[in-house]
Amino acid sequence: MFVPNDFPGRRALSRLTGLFLLILLTALPLAAHGDPADFDMKKMFQGDAHISDSKDIVNRYLDQDVAVIDMHMHSGSFDNMGPLGQAFVLNAIPLPLPDEVKRNLARVIADLTRHPFTPFVGIRNECRKAGLSAAVLFSVYTPEAWGVEDNATVIGHLDDARNFYRGQPFFYGFASISQVDWAENEQNALAELDRALSHPKMVGVKLAFAHNVEPLDNPAFDSIYQMAERHDAPVYHHIGSSPLRRFEDFPDEAGRQRYYRSFHPQFVEGTLQRFPRVRFILGHMGFDFNDEDVDGVDEVFRLARTYPNVYLEISAFGSDSHDPDGAVMDEILGKAKEYGLIDRVIYGSDGPGFAGATEKYKDKTFASMTRLGYTVEEVRQVMAGNFLAVTGLDQRSSFKLAPLRAEDTPADDLKPQTNPGHDH
């Protein structure tokens, strides 16, 4: 097993050598919708699991090669999670351990699995196992919930010398913005977003009103959409409840109403109307993650059929804990086909989650499209084409997707990229 000196998890490894057995016993969710049912402990740290760039892993549909881009990935660490996120993760460790031990365990697993470039278990390797051609890292500003992965950190990953695959960038980014103390901080926050969006690999804006319990229909945030319009960047809204917050967590009706307005799709309609030139990606389809009778899937479809600037992203709800037999994914992809909206549907998983979860979500999505009789062209749109269109990447003369086959790749582009002098 080859472990280079700059292996970013090296310190973390030495910190907890001997606790690996515990890691293997632990079903620990670290994605935004971490899902114990997705955990496959056999796949964790499999010795042959490091995928070199010359190894072909190609997704096939009806005997055709299909490029796949996952538009929804989270880098990060345990310590940059907010209190609700940390509590969620610690609660999910099914072991009778003192809190401090659990925290160290969570820390080491996050260091290994949520860093983009960790060999064997990092995000890039998980994506390669799934046969992806590229993926998107999200900046996140939700201090109470999943925490803060700021634009500078994500840009650091995008600029990392290892962010190449067969001669092309592997990760792109969606920038985000702090909503804290908006009345006072609006101008600073916007200036920061402006800078982030000027980076050539930052190709969209990711917003998390639900996690910040900020109403979607509050026009005070219109300046964010104006900024997106100026950069011609699509805006991703998390639409649907958060697994970190249930209605019962709010002490009064006013709090519950405010939360409802932060995630239900009906409250984003005014924004869609006021900004017809901004492309909005409605993430998670308005899915009712906590089973609280607030499903917004039909409303999301109504919005997509009414407004041409609406795109639909299909991450998280298709995981085993929400959709064990694929019925939810079948219903949503089936309606997209029935309504003629396949050119708006964009693939994402909300990973990396557990080892193997990125691959599994992709496989479940392909299986659903097979059951529904999608054509090869429709599959190509959902799995990559619509993402390239909504971000405008397909309009850039310099843009190329990495070749699916090593034989089509210049030999120099198959050499591993290193990151000299970069100490984590």
Could you list the residues that contact Zn ion (CB under 5 A)? 32, 350
Pairwise CA distance, residues 84 & 107, whole Å? 15
- DSSP type of residue 95: S
Which is closer to Zn ion, CB of 66 or CB of 69?
Answer: 69
Task: Report how far apart the first and last C-alpha atoms of the chain are (Å, whole number).
Answer: 21
Pairwise CA distance, residues 73 & 127, whole Å? 10
Query: Helix, strand, or coil here: 11?
Result: helix
Closest separation in Å from C-beta 138 to Zn ion: 6
Closest separation in Å from C-beta 84 to Zn ion: 14
Q: Long-range contact list for 298-305, CB < 8 A, 24+ apart? A: 299/264, 299/265, 299/266, 300/239, 300/265, 301/335, 301/336, 301/339, 301/341, 303/265, 303/268, 303/269, 303/272, 304/339, 304/341, 304/344, 305/339, 305/341
Which is closer to Zn ion, CB of 173 or CB of 403?
Answer: 173
Which is closer to Zn ion, CB of 118 or CB of 315?
Answer: 315
Which is closer to Zn ion, CB of 129 or CB of 206?
Answer: 206
Phi then psi for residue 283, to 5 deg, are: -80, 140
Residue 14, Cβ density class (10 Å: 0-12 exposed, 13-18 middle, ≥19 buried): exposed
Closest separation in Å from C-beta 72 to Zn ion: 6
Closest separation in Å from C-beta 350 to Zn ion: 4
Would you list the DSSP string of 258-322?
HHHHHH-GGGGHHHHHH-TTS-EEEEEEEE-TT-SS---HHHHHHHHHH-TTEEEE--STTSTTT
Closest separation in Å from C-beta 408 to Zn ion: 33
Which is closer to Zn ion, CB of 236 or CB of 275?
Answer: 236
Closest separation in Å from C-beta 73 to Zn ion: 8
Which is closer to Zn ion, CB of 176 or CB of 409?
Answer: 176
Could you identify the residue written with the tokens 């697994």? 243
Closest separation in Å from C-beta 272 to Zn ion: 21
Which is closer to Zn ion, CB of 32 or CB of 137?
Answer: 32
What H or E segment, with its residue span, contains residue 228? Answer: helix 222-231
Read off the tokens for 317.
């709800």
Q: Closest CB to Zn ion belongs to which residue?
A: 32
Which is closer to Zn ion, CB of 32 or CB of 213?
Answer: 32
Total Cβ atoms within 10 A of residue 73: 29
Closest separation in Å from C-beta 136 to Zn ion: 11
